[in-house]
Structure formats: C-alpha cells, structure tokens
C-alpha cells in the first residue's frame, strides 16, 4: 500500500538539513532501488526566490506493508534525529493519476 509521509520543518532548518542530507537521500535511494519510492522532494519556502535558502518540509510517497511500517521507516529518518522536522504526518495514499 502507498503512504504519504509529510515532514514539517522547524524554523531555520537549512543548516540541519544540509548536515544530514546525504544520509537522508541514501535511505530514499534504497527505497527507489527496491521499487517502492513513487516520489520524494522538499517544499521550498514560498517567500524565498533561492530554492536552497529555506524549506518548510518534505513529501515522500512510497510503498510500505502497513502504516506501522511507514511510521517506523519515517521515525528512523536522519532528519528526525537531527531535529529538521517539527512533526511528521503519515497517511494512506491512492495514486489516481498518471
């Protein structure tokens, strides 16, 4: 089943993000290699013209056996340990298009 994982950043998260970005991307790459990643990416702050100035969060859509498995995966994200995310919300997701 697909799940959306929506992380909401703490204010001024850029330094923490950049310090743990490689480890975060490695986990996403593993999901991709397993054929379970549908999409992933950050939400740039809408008031910054430079996309790497600040972020408000991230979205990941991926396949997991259960919401508990998705939660466990999200809880182990390096961005959680580094304090990038203030909160993470996980919901079942149905891909309607394309």
Give which of 6, 18, 7 is closest to 80, Cα–Cα: 7
> If you count DSSP H runs as helices and E runs as strands, how many of each does the chain have, helices first?
3, 4
Classify 51 as helix, strand or coil: coil
> In this predicted model, what pLDDT tens digit does every residue of 13-58 receive, in sequence order?
999 999 999 999 999 999 999 999 999 999 988 776 565 578 899 9
With 80 as the cut, is the pLDDT of residue 93 above it? yes
Is the per-residue pLDDT at 5 higher than 80? yes
């Amino acid at each position: 089943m697909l799940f959306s994982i929506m992380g909401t950043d703490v204010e001024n998260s850029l330094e923490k993000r950049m310090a743990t970005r490689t480890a975060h991307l490695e986990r996403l790459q593993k999901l991709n290699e397993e054929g379970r990643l549908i999409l992933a990416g950050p939400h740039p702050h809408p008031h910054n013209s430079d996309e790497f100035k600040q972020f408000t969060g991230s979205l990941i859509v991926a396949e997991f056996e259960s919401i508990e498995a998705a939660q466990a995966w999200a809880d182990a994200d390096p961005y959680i340990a580094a304090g990038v995310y203030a909160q993470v919300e996980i919901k079942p997701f149905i891909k309607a298009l394309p």
